[in-house]
Structure 1
Amino acid sequence: MYPWRGGIAALALLAATFAPVSVRAEADKQEAGETASEIRPSVAERRVDTRHSVTADGRKIAYTATAGTLTLRDGEGHPKASMFYVAYVADRAKGEPERPVTFFYNGGPGSSSIWLHMASFAPVRVPVGIDVKPGTALRLAPNPETLLGQTDMVFLDAVSTGYSDVFDPKDGKAYWGHDSDSASFTQAIRRYLEINGRWQSPKYLFGESYGTTRSAITSLMLHKAGVELDGIVLMSSILNFAQQAPGLDRMAINQVPTYAASAWYHGKVDRSLSLPDHVEKARRFAEGAYTQALAKGHDLPDAERDAVAAQMAVLTGLPVDYLVQSQLRVMPSRFRKELLRGEGKVLGVLDTRFTGYEGDGAASGASSDPAGDAISGPIISSFLTYIREDLKYRTDQPYHVSSPKNLLGIWDWSHIPPDGEKQNSLADVALDLAEAMRRNPAMRVLSLSGYYDLSTPFFATEYDLSHMLLPKDLRGNLTENFYDSGHMIYLDPCSLKRVHDDVSAFLKDRPEN
């Protein structure tokens, strides 16, 4: 299936990279014959506090790390699920203003937030990067790029991931869908604010990948629940599933600038232009001659097809004949296989700068992700040691790096947008984000995208954000930044520094400041 045809398939690229992984925190205590699914969290909320410090932004910051759970209840007050979180709260002198609090989560759907937690802005970080090879031993270290100097941070794991789970296995499906997932995060955020007395704190959401879908819906839900957000950070967004409707070419168009950036990085195109200039040239081609050619379908004249293929070849490094044979439509898995086929290498999905090898050199498309292979082991092993030894959180539950169930096939993709008319699987949640911005004119949005991301291409995000139909007075509340990085922008140390500075400035740029 073409990743740019069908909303589920686009996310399947990312989900396949991190297949369901469960790890027991205390396997030595597991009783004979006991299965992971039989071990459920406690209805009572847990909380384990430990004290730490980190040097960042030129100063030493003392903080409390809290690993704990939040109990989620149904409309009648019955406990139904437990959401696991790790919070980092810096010391605040008496009389100082309330510090901001930012809620972080990855996406999937079906992914825990281990990736953001262990590789981006927490006080500790696994030093992954584009030069790290699979199997490299990496150790958790203090993170000078932590955002703790600007905001307290809460990392949340979605129900059925991490240590978050339902109390009754039959209730799991109640949390597997666009709206039900966002409702659980809305409830968890309100619960955290309540038990920690943070109602007056400036509040932010930080979602990555499907986490941006969640943020868009949750922002409006929070507003309706009386929680006004100061801002939202969207990293590597997927907002409009309607772009991926079968029979439409928008997803093919969206990929072209990412193909161009990837070819530039690997030296398969003329590099006399800078990366941003080369990408801009690809943008103009994708929206112009390429879009016009695809719109003609099989009525496209051969001469025009050949001319467009020639332009596309110059931008993407793919052979003209290959583009013609592909009818100008190249799926990401084929691009990843084709660009470096002569070298026997494939590109990553999450980050096309990563390369690797596969057994079948003649296959039409790539079947693995070298980017995911390089980072998974160090991050997972570091987290499981950290949560037990440093944060002192002990449990017999398995830690689900990703949901033990393949949620893509059973996820409820329908959505009730702001107008109240239920949408099918091709929901456009950018409409929820736009409505939240209109209802809360002080709320700002920062969009972060990587040039080398084939999972959620930056050109699609640009399109979605420009079609929210914001009034002119609110367009200044939306900022879009682009980085020489991939889906997980923070994997690249240079981009990590830049995105840290950009997010720090965003957090500091509150009206009261």
Structure 2
Amino acid sequence: MTLKRLFSYVCVVAAGVGAVTPVAGFGAEPAGAPPQKAAAAEKADNKPSAEERQSVTKHSVTTAGGRTIAYTATAGTLTLKGENGTPEASMFYVAYVADGAKTANRPVTFFYNGGPGSSSIWLHMASFGPRRVPIALGMKAGSAAPLAPNPQTLLGETDMVFLDAIGTGYSDVLDASFGKNYWGNDQDAASFAQAIRRYLEKNDRWASPKYLFGESYGTTRSAITALKLHDSGVHLNGVILMSSILNFAQRAPGLDRMAINQVPTYAATAWHHGKIARQGSLTDHVERARRFASGPYSAALAKGHWLGDEERNNVAREMAELTGLSPEYLIRSDLQVMPDRFRKELMRAEGTVVGGLDTRFTGSEADGTAEAAATDPTENSIAGPIISAFNGYIARDLGYKSNQPYYPGSRIRNMFALWDWSHRPPYGARQNAMADVAIDLAEVMRRNPSMRVLSMSGYYDLSTPFFATEYDLSHMMLPADLRANLTERYYESGHMIYLDEKSLVSARTDIAQFLTGH
């Protein structure tokens, strides 16, 4: 799967080992200001340590509104302990805290990517932090994209803490035998809940408004973690879900729901690339695809091999008009086209494959006759600039020294095979083999009626299609008063909504409104 390839990146970033004074315009004070010396830890080991480390530096950033924010950046580790109090793991984090603010009124938001098996490098380096790698739509692999001040940072609204899951980034278990305690749905969420509590304790942020921000599998993590935090006395003010996957059971082989979920994204992609006769706007076309997917298409798939020829032909013809695929191809596919086949087939005549994480990206492959896409042009375009930027930034600007390599993805090559995909729901005695964590999110919303949820989805995301998110959220069965706490927003973007400037600005506006309540 495309998502797995990106978040299990095998390349590593070897962080620099020499502390360098930040320079003006690149993670530093403005020109003419006294240089800030990093309070970097002296010790640099090849193995993680139970001793918590940190490097503290001072910086400033100017927002799009012209406000200059002085802030403190802390790169460090949080020690996680087992049930018996034995240190088991070290979680790396980078925190950005505005100077001079009263912490009792100042929100703090915890950010992380997903995978499972991804560090937070993608959100950290490309979204709402004070420094950002500018990724442009259509950018080709090898293009220069130097790290720059980010006027779209959320630092004006919230302090930001980026957390790396155990086994990614600089985060790791202290002994290999502890891995089983962290590599699973519930185990992972427990580690994040513990790390968040530790950060709150260490920095006296118990009174601050508290938010979670997860992307992709990070939304799975957020749903479970939110309930675990609530049960431990940490009540959240809100949860932000970007590109959600809340119910893994929908993806089980043999179920129709996976095929149904993809159709509106296929339609949006065909609209973007001009593969259908456009009638109205993108949202108009997507709405027609929604109605088709939940109506005639769903009814046809439910009949299985009892579906009659006339109905099959009618459904194939309507689906072709929406998705740009030929009726003949759809019939040969039994009306069900998996994402990698769609990405290959849509623009096969042009010798072009479309992206999976973001279907607006395009590229080419050596085998033009293959049934399915083997690569993702999105990955090829974005990974290099982001990883390269982090490589210099962490040591040079944040003063964090380590002889360990930084793993953008998992340091465990077979993380997916080792992962415990089961989940214990909030009620019932059974451990479910496949997680549906929308149940957990609904439960914490019931227990904490003040907690709000913001769901953010991209029209061009085939990894976590927005129609699946709509289905999951609508099946939380919330009463009317709690449904008012759930906000859904959509963007003309892909899985990583923040990649292009237009979507970044729109997303930032929505998040700022969510955090400030207006």
Q: Does 1:215 align with 2:222?
A: yes
Q: Deviations over 1:139-195 (max 9, x none)?
A: 100000000000000000000000000111221122100000000000000000000
Q: Does 1:367 align with 2:357?
A: no
Q: Match of 2:208?
A: 201
Cα separation, 1, equivalents of 2:422 and 2:76: 31
Q: Match of 1:391?
A: 398
Q: Is the 8 A contact 2:425 2:432 kept in 1?
A: no
Structure 2 counterpart of 1:372, which letter? E
Cα separation, 1, equivalents of 2:292 and 2:175: 53
Q: Match of 1:275?
A: 282
Q: Match of 2:28?
A: none
Q: Does 1:500 align with 2:489?
A: no
1:41: Cα distance to partner?
1.2
* Among 314, 319, 323, the residue aligned to 1:316: 323
Q: Does 1:464 align with 2:472?
A: yes
Cα separation, 2, equivalents of 1:373 and 1:218: 32
Structure 2 counterpart of 1:63, which letter? Y
Structure 1 counterpart of 2:259, which letter? A
Q: Is the 8 A contact 1:40 1:166 kept in 2?
A: no
Q: Is the 8 A contact 2:16 2:391 kept in 1?
A: no
Counterpart of 2:468 in 1: which secondary structure?
helix
Structure 1 counterpart of 2:195, which letter? A
Q: Is the 8 A contact 1:21 1:404 kept in 2?
A: no
Structure 1 counterpart of 2:72, which letter? T
Structure 1 counterpart of 2:446, which letter? R
Q: Is the 8 A contact 1:134 1:374 kept in 2?
A: yes
Q: Is the 8 A contact 1:17 1:368 kept in 2?
A: no
Cα separation, 1, equivalents of 2:76 and 2:6: 28
* Among 1, 11, 16, the residue aligned to 1:21: 11
Unaligned runs of 5+ in 2: 19-44
Comparing 51-60 and 460-469, the one that deviates more: 51-60
Q: Is the 8 A contact 2:104 2:207 kept in 1?
A: no
Cα separation, 2, equivalents of 1:212 and 1:443: 16
Counterpart of 1:401 in 2: which secondary structure?
strand
Quote the RMSD (CA, aligned, Å): 1.3
Q: 1:48 to 1:254 in 2, by over 3 A?
A: same
Q: Deviations over 1:429-460 (max 9, x none)?
A: 00000000000000000000000000000000
1:96: Cα distance to partner?
7.7
Q: How does 1:248-263 map to 2 (within 5 A)?
A: 248-263=255-270
1:27: Cα distance to partner?
8.1
Q: Is the 8 A contact 1:489 1:495 kept in 2?
A: yes
Cα separation, 1, equivalents of 2:178 and 2:5: 25
Q: 1:347 to 1:165 in 2, by over 3 A?
A: same
1:97: Cα distance to partner?
4.9
1:98: Cα distance to partner?
2.5
Q: Match of 2:83?
A: 75
Q: Match of 2:384?
A: 377
Q: Match of 2:132?
A: 125
Query: What percent of counterpart residues are identical?
Result: 66
Comparing 237-246 and 449-458, the one that deviates more: 237-246
Q: How does 1:336-375 map to 2 (within 5 A)?
A: 336-375=343-382
Q: Does 1:413 align with 2:402?
A: no
Counterpart of 2:316 in 1: which secondary structure?
helix
Q: Match of 2:149?
A: 142
Cα separation, 2, equivalents of 1:272 and 1:302: 28
Q: Deviations over 1:91-127 (max 9, x none)?
A: 125x685210000000000000000000000000000
Q: Match of 1:32?
A: none
* Among 106, 109, 127, the residue aligned to 1:99: 106
* Among 88, 96, 120, the residue aligned to 2:96: 88
Q: Is the 8 A contact 1:112 1:402 kept in 2?
A: yes
The TM-score with structure 1 as length reference comes to 0.94
* Among 332, 336, 339, the residue aligned to 1:325: 332
Cα separation, 2, equivalents of 1:500 and 1:17: 24
Q: Deviations over 1:400-426 (max 9, x none)?
A: 111122311111011110114333332
Q: Match of 2:456?
A: 448
Cα separation, 1, equivalents of 2:136 and 2:501: 7
Q: Match of 2:21?
A: none
1:49: Cα distance to partner?
0.5
Number of residues of Structure 1 aligned to a counterpart in Structure 2: 489
Q: Match of 1:34?
A: none
Cα separation, 2, equivalents of 1:200 and 1:400: 33
1:23: Cα distance to partner?
2.5
Q: Is the 8 A contact 1:17 1:369 kept in 2?
A: no
Q: Deviations over 1:38-58 (max 9, x none)?
A: 932111101111000000132
Q: Deviations over 1:451-481 (max 9, x none)?
A: 0000000000000000001111100000000
Comparing 241-250 and 445-454, the one that deviates more: 241-250
1:20: Cα distance to partner?
2.3
Q: Is the 8 A contact 1:241 1:425 kept in 2?
A: no
Q: Does 1:428 align with 2:431?
A: no
Structure 1 counterpart of 2:84, which letter? E
Q: Deviations over 1:228-255 (max 9, x none)?
A: 0000000000001111222210000000
Q: Match of 1:481?
A: 489
* Among 180, 191, 194, the residue aligned to 1:184: 191
Cα separation, 2, equivalents of 1:246 and 1:256: 17
Q: Match of 1:438?
A: 446
* Among 280, 284, 293, the residue aligned to 2:300: 293
The TM-score with structure 2 as length reference comes to 0.93
Cα separation, 2, equivalents of 1:385 and 1:264: 40
Cα separation, 2, equivalents of 1:65 and 1:201: 18
Counterpart of 2:264 in 1: which secondary structure?
helix
Structure 2 counterpart of 1:92, which letter? G
Q: How does 1:226-237 map to 2 (within 5 A)?
A: 226-237=233-244
Unaligned runs of 5+ in 1: 1-11, 29-37
Q: How does 1:30-49 map to 2 (within 5 A)?
A: 39-49=46-56
1:216: Cα distance to partner?
0.3
Q: Deviations over 1:48-105 (max 9, x none)?
A: 1100000013210000000000000011111000000000000125x68521000000
Cα separation, 2, equivalents of 1:104 and 1:203: 12
Structure 1 counterpart of 2:6, which letter? T
Cα separation, 2, equivalents of 1:124 and 1:96: 23
Q: Deviations over 1:269-304 (max 9, x none)?
A: 112210000000000000000000000000000010
Counterpart of 1:402 in 2: which secondary structure?
strand
Cα separation, 2, equivalents of 1:501 and 1:419: 37
